[in-house]
Structure 1
Amino acid sequence: MTQSPTDPQTGTDAGPLRIGVLGASHFALEHMARAIHEAEGAVLAALATSSLEKAAPFQAFAPDLEVFLDYQAMLASNAIDAVYIPLPNHLHVHWSLRALEAGKHVLCEKPLAATAGEIDALIAKRDETGLVCAEAYMIVHHPQWQRVKALLASGAIGELCRVEVGFSFDNSADADNIRNRPETAGGAMGDIGVYALGCVRYASGEEPREVTHADITYENGVDVTAEVSARFPSFDYHGYVSMRMAPFQEARFHGRKGVIKVAVPFNAGVAGMAALEITDADGVMRCEAFPTVRQYVCQVENFVASVRRGVAYPWTLEDARGTQAFIDQVFAKSRG
């Protein structure tokens, strides 16, 4: 029997977490709104959008959805406990702060901010209000990455020597895409660099000592491709991200006694099946697959557990700040 969620402060039954979506983005429609609708302990309660037309596809699978035509009106509603924010990148900090000020818990899409320093205001407001505020960094909720972290910690591949990560897609034909627009803080580093850089921090538990190489290509004031090398305390890192290359994603952790290859490390279940290929020093490989895990649903359920039962959230604002600081170092290095 499933227990009802409880309020961590009072210990009383608080019912399902009523979540409102701030902005009718395509990503919210295809992934996160559906995950909220399906997650245990959560209710997709509301959507704030500029038009009823944009709300219609959401109402198709959540007919009881309340629609607000004003963002602040949804934040003022007593029928909403928390908000999920999938707005363009340059609006993340602003609306996260407004939501916290309105007494709502916040799950905000990545990248949380344009620079690491901007996240300090969110940390301060989180601490002031006692509310949960987190970046929607979904990969840490997936068991394939939890498994990588555990394998590295256990010494399964010996001393870690090198990490290589690649993540790319091509949206060059979509000039209006917010990722291709400087005024919406677009760019490959913010969109997918958070994965290529953040995953190695999460899995290894280490922070970069130095960015040794950063080569960034720009189009229309937006970074579209980046090659990055860095030194961590116990290993070297090389990665690349691009919005101008054929779709590809892979992460490889090379140790003295073995190699872990993470297949479909970021878009698990969308770009293919999540799996690990673990090869020992004798060349013997075993595969661990995760065919049924839905990482967005896992993310929502962990958010609910954090809000309702005080369970530690797997990706804190400090974690998000660490990845953004890494990105900041990459841009600084590229400028010389």
Structure 2
Amino acid sequence: MTMTPIRWGILGAADFARRFMGPAIHAAKGAELYALATSSPAKAAHFADFAPHVIVHDSYDALLADPAVDAVYIPLPNHLHVDWSLKALAAGKHVLCEKPMGLAAADYDRLIAARDAAGLLAAEAFMIVHHPQFARARALYAQGAIGKLMHVDATFTYNNADDVTNIRNRPETAGGALRDIGVYTFGAARFVTGQEPDAITYADLRLENDVDVFAQIAARFPDFTYSAIVSMRMHPRQQITFHGDKGILRLTCPFNANVFDMAQLTLETDGTSTISERWPGVNHYIVQVENFGHTLRGTARYPCALEFSRGTQAMMDMVFTAGARR
């Protein structure tokens, strides 16, 4: 049985959309990259290279007014996410918006209310939870594979110091390391354990041009402690480790699978590696689009509801508050 593809539109010809999410939508089963909104013919041409039939609208509003568009992907700068997500929902489009979808927990309350009023699917593009390594990690944790969890340690760093015009380095576009990559270190721990932080016990935020470029964080969860380092000024590194009293569960490429390195999970008990699993062929962007489609068709529950994303933002709010007091 052939299913009618979900016709996607993209608001803006962002580099990330061109390199990752545009091709993912084009490649995903049950999806079609139908339309793009950009006033730049040169940028549109890059999308036509892999999706030659894509329709180009010269404004975001024109794309939202296109009745043929079923769902909208929003890769705009952070400070524009809430407004354009709300506009898309008001236009009757399902929404997948880049993270962070909002800049404070209250933003997610507005988005959830708009989603419910419209009866549409709206979600943050938190792609890592769609990767099978996280489903596997969560299952192993739930099975007690590492015993009682004592501590979670996460790291995500890269260096864009030379790219001063990058939106991540600009306060007016709500840049910063925490909003760009801290969400992954927070959300990954929450997704695997199902727990929320009780308190941020330490937060060292270092700013350049009013943007956080380094953050060292400690938190207390109900059953374990947590620490993380995120930075836009350090050599690239990423990992997350779940340390229990009977074992260690480690993801060595949890956030940029098959870009930074191959996705790999290891489980160590009694000083030996008892499990080592790899996923060389999984593209979590494609899986994210396909999961979105499964949910729209009513065949599966979406893995990352807005309520989950609100929880990550609530932790982010706690970190900013703790960092300001320091």
Deviating beyond 3 angstroms after TM superposition, the runs of 4 or more aligned structure 1 residues are none
Which residue identity does 1:195 align to in structure 2?
Answer: Y
How far apart are residue 312 of structure 1 and its match? 1.3
Does structure 1 residue 232 correspond to structure 2 residue 221?
A: yes
- Please, which of 271, 278, 284 is the counterpart of residue 267 of structure 2? 278
Does structure 1 residue 218 correspond to structure 2 residue 207?
A: yes
- State the percentage of identical aligned residues: 54
- Please, which of 83, 102, 105 is the counterpart of residue 94 of structure 2? 105
Does structure 1 residue 58 correspond to structure 2 residue 50?
A: no
Which residue identity does 1:154 align to in structure 2?
Answer: Q
SS at match of 2:92: coil
Q: Partners of 1:316 and 1:310 in 2: how far apart?
A: 15
Which residue identity does 1:29 align to in structure 2?
Answer: R
Question: Does the CA contact (< 8 Å) of 2:266 and 2:273 recur in 1?
Answer: no
Q: Partners of 1:106 and 1:47 in 2: how far apart?
A: 14
Residue in structure 2 matched with residue 72 of structure 1 by the alignment: 61
Residue in structure 1 matched with residue 245 of structure 2 by the alignment: 256
How far apart are residue 282 of structure 1 and its match? 4.1
Residue in structure 2 matched with residue 81 of structure 1 by the alignment: 70
Does structure 1 residue 30 correspond to structure 2 residue 19?
A: yes
C-alpha root-mean-square deviation of aligned residues, in Å? Answer: 0.9
Question: Does the CA contact (< 8 Å) of 2:8 and 2:73 recur in 1?
Answer: yes
Which residue identity does 1:207 align to in structure 2?
Answer: E
Q: Partners of 1:192 and 1:284 in 2: how far apart?
A: 29
Equivalent residues in 2 for 1:122-137 (5 A)? 122-137=111-126
SS at match of 2:281: coil
For these two proteins, the number of residue pairs brought into alignment is: 325
Q: Partners of 2:281 and 2:51 in 1: how far apart?
A: 23
Q: Partners of 1:263 and 1:215 in 2: how far apart?
A: 24
How far apart are residue 53 of structure 1 and its match? 1.5
Q: Partners of 2:41 and 2:295 in 1: how far apart?
A: 32
Residue in structure 2 matched with residue 140 of structure 1 by the alignment: 129
Question: Does the CA contact (< 8 Å) of 2:27 and 2:286 recur in 1?
Answer: yes
- Please, which of 29, 33, 49 is the counterpart of residue 44 of structure 1? 33
Which residue identity does 2:235 align to in structure 1?
Answer: A
Residue in structure 2 matched with residue 307 of structure 1 by the alignment: 296
Does structure 1 residue 153 correspond to structure 2 residue 142?
A: yes
Q: Partners of 1:153 and 1:159 in 2: how far apart?
A: 10
How far apart are residue 119 of structure 1 and its match? 1.1
Under a length normalisation based on structure 1, what TM-score does the superposition of the two structures give? 0.95
SS at match of 1:61: coil
SS at match of 1:251: strand
Does structure 1 residue 178 correspond to structure 2 residue 167?
A: yes
How far apart are residue 286 of structure 1 and its match? 2.8
Q: Partners of 2:62 and 2:138 in 1: how far apart?
A: 42
How far apart are residue 213 of structure 1 and its match? 0.2
SS at match of 1:335: helix
Question: Does the CA contact (< 8 Å) of 2:253 and 2:263 recur in 1?
Answer: yes
Q: Extract unaligned runs of 5+ from structure 2.
A: none
Under a length normalisation based on structure 2, what TM-score does the superposition of the two structures give? 0.98
Q: Partners of 1:310 and 1:123 in 2: how far apart?
A: 22
Q: Partners of 2:243 and 2:2 in 1: how far apart?
A: 44
Residue in structure 1 matched with residue 193 of structure 2 by the alignment: 204
SS at match of 1:120: helix
Q: Partners of 2:234 and 2:227 in 1: how far apart?
A: 17
Does structure 1 residue 265 correspond to structure 2 residue 265?
A: no
How far apart are residue 106 of structure 1 and its match? 0.2
Residue in structure 2 matched with residue 17 of structure 1 by the alignment: 6
How far apart are residue 108 of structure 1 and its match? 0.3
Q: Partners of 1:131 and 1:93 in 2: how far apart?
A: 16
Q: Which moved further from structure 2: 301-310 or 209-218?
A: 301-310
Q: Extract unaligned runs of 5+ from structure 1.
A: 6-14
How far apart are residue 263 of structure 1 and its match? 1.0
Which residue identity does 1:134 align to in structure 2?
Answer: A
Residue in structure 2 matched with residue 165 of structure 1 by the alignment: 154
